[in-house]
Each structure stands twice: as C-alpha cells, then as structure tokens.
Amino acid sequence: MKPHLTTAQLTEAELGEIRTLIEQRSAILLDSSRERFFSTRLREYLGEKHIESGTELLQIVRASVTEYDALLEQLLTQETSFFRYPAVYEALRKKILPEVQERKFWQDPRALRIWSAGCSTGEEPCSIAITLCDSLKFAEAWEIEILATDISRRALSHAERGIYAKRSLQDVSLGQVETHFSTTKHGYQVKPRIRKMISFVQMNLVEPAYFGKFDCIFCMNVLMYFSEKRRLAILRRFYDALEPGGYFLLGHSETLSNVSLNLESIRLGDCLIYRKPVSSEAPRMLAFVEELP
Ligand SMILES: C[S@@+](CC[C@H](N)C(=O)[O-])C[C@H]1O[C@@H](n2cnc3c(N)ncnc32)[C@H](O)[C@@H]1O
C-alpha cells in the first residue's frame, strides 16, 4: 500500500521540537544527515493518523506514552539480516568461544551469557545462537542465555515469532537452514532449540537496567544513530556489564576511537573486536592484529 503523505504544514520549530523529544527519550539523533528520512516518515505518519499539524502531533505524543511509542516506531531504522557481517561470527567461532571455553570449563554451572542490544527482528541473536550450537563444544553442558533487547515492540514481536522469508536466509548455509529451521506455510521458522536460547526483552538503551554480566555484547549498527554524549554514556554501561575477558562487538563501519575505556582492540581479518582485560592484565588500549587459526 502507498504511504499516505499529508499536506499538513510542519514548521522548522515543530520539526525541531519533535527531534528534541525523540533524542531526549530514545537517544536517536535525527540530524541534518537524516533530514529526508525524518521529514518523509513524519509526513507519512501525520497522513496515516489524520493529524493536521506538528503542534497537534506534539500535544498527542507528549500526553501519551503509547502515542509516543507509535511515532517512534515510524522513525526507527530496523535494517538487519542473518550473519550480517560474516567476519564477526567467524571471530565469535574461532576466537571468543574458544577463550570462554578455556576460562569457564571448570565452572559450575558453566554459564555463557551474550547480549544482543538493538536486536531488531531477531536475525542477529538467531545468528549468534546458530553459531553457538554449531561450534561450542558440548553445547548441552552449558547454561546458555542470549538476551536480545530492542526499543521496538513491533520488531520484537516479529523476533518472537521467529518466522522469516526465504530471501532473508541468503547468508545462512543450506546445512544450517536444514538443521535450525522448519518450513511453515508462512516461511522458515527457527527451531525450538535455537528459540529457547534467546530471551527477547523490550528495553530502551537510554534507561539504565541491570541484567547482570555478559561474556559478550553485540551492539551493531545502533550507537551510530545516537549523539556522542549518549553513545559514551551507554558504552560505559556496556563496559560495566562485561565480564573481565569479555568481548564487545560493533557494526562493520563503527569503531571505539576517542573512547577512553580500558578495552583492547583486536583486528581479526576484516573486523575489529574489543576485549575487556582481566584484572591481572596490564591496562592496554593499543590495537593489535591477530590471525584467526
Ligand atoms: C539498524 S538496526 C540494527 C539491528 C542489528 N543489530 C544489526 O546490526 O543487524 C538498529 C536497532 O536499534 C534499535 N534501537 C534504536 N534506538 C534504540 C534505543 N534507544 N534502545 C534500544 N534499541 C534501540 C532499533 O529499534 C533497531 O531495531
């Protein structure tokens, strides 16, 4: 269906107020680089809801969290895919998991916790779960939890259903499709073994919440939409949530340059990953290059 564009007038002042409201509550910066996206989506929203002006919209969304959330859904970018950056999953398989196995082998319970922060419709946490199933030795001997959070309820309800179109499985190998998905009349559904490893939770990264410690945090293609100040505050919280020796993973074009956190940056082939040192290690912030075995 064609989106409903409105003829309602939006003044610069109204646009500015809407931008500020979104930034304050959800960290998303709709600056000049996203101007076209912002004003088109906003006009579509006004048209769909038959709202006459920016001032009316502001009154509605300020008076009701539900209305604010509905507007926000319209302004989120939720692009994602399975195994979006193959090098990251290669790093998980060949570097991060072997290290965790060595560090935690004798622990009882042998727990492994991973956070996919900004998981969108679930392809990222499913890719993590598939990687764990396929490459963690004695996977059944581990207590595995993948926490997958997002601000968008709509994206999370898609993720919870776990049904995907064939075209979105193009980077999933045939063997993995056969092992980890079943076919339904609506598409390919992740099997219960994968689904049970993941807890989907609605969460705004701006609001501090305590979910315990993680061996690995994926926050790919999320912080790039936030202002520098918000990004730093959220990164500090991620840092605190990482286990010593834990890893932090960003999207392909994102880096932690200019961030003063005690993290080693490790280049593995095509990707840069970050590790929180264990307390016995000297602090280092130098990047270094490693070959994957
Ligand atoms: C571009 S998608 C990235 C999805 C996935 N991580 C990937 O790289 O394929 C960005 C996600 O961040 C979520 N997001 C944006 N602002 C957020 C916030 N303040 N708190 C939590 N999630 C947020 C969006 O809803 C969206 O699903």
* Domain regions of the chain by residue span: 12-75, 86-290
- Cβ partners under 8 Å of residue 65, min gap 6: none
Q: What CA–CA distance (Å, rounded) separates 283 from 266?
A: 14
Beta strands 271-275 and 264-268 are antiparallel
Concerning whether 41 is annotated as a catalytic residue, the answer is: yes
Out of 34, 36, 93, 150, the active site residue is 150
Ligand 1 site, residue 227, Cβ cutoff 6 A: no
CATH of domain 12-75: 1.10.155
**Vertex 71 angle, CA 77 and 205, to 5°:** 55
Residue-by-residue pLDDT tens, the chain, 293 positions: 566 656 677 899 999 999 999 999 999 999 888 888 998 999 999 999 999 899 999 999 999 999 999 999 999 999 999 999 999 999 999 999 999 999 998 888 899 999 999 999 999 999 999 999 999 888 888 999 999 999 999 999 999 999 999 999 999 999 999 999 999 999 999 999 999 999 999 999 999 888 899 999 999 999 999 988 899 999 999 999 999 999 999 998 888 877 888 999 999 988 899 999 987 665 554 444 455 55
Query: What CATH number does the domain located at 86-290 have?
Result: 3.40.50.150
Of 290, 236, 237, 229, the C-alpha closest to 265 is 290
Q: Tell me if residue 171 is catalytic.
A: no
CA pair distance 275, 291, nearest whole angstrom: 16
d(CA 99, CA 273): 14
Evaluate: CB of 217 within 6 angstroms of ligand 1. no
CA 71, 72, 73, 76 dihedral sign is positive
Q: What's the confidence (pLDDT) of residue 1?
A: 58
Kindly report the pTM of this predicted structure: 0.93
**Alpha helices, H only, 136-223:** 153-161, 174-180, 192-195
In the numeric block, which tokens belong to residue 19? Answer: 């931008």
Q: How confident is the model at residue 289, as a pLDDT?
A: 45
Q: Is 104 exposed, middle or buried (0-12, 13-18, 19+ CB in 10 A)?
A: middle
Look at residue 286 in the predicted model and tell me its pLDDT: 46
| Rounded Cα distance, 165 and 160, in Å | 15
Ligand 1 touching residue 78 (CB < 6 A): yes
Q: Which helix (H) or strand (E) holds 90?
A: helix 86-91
Q: Is the CB of 84 under 6 A from ligand 1?
A: yes
Ligand 1 atom at minimal distance to the Cα of residue 204: 20
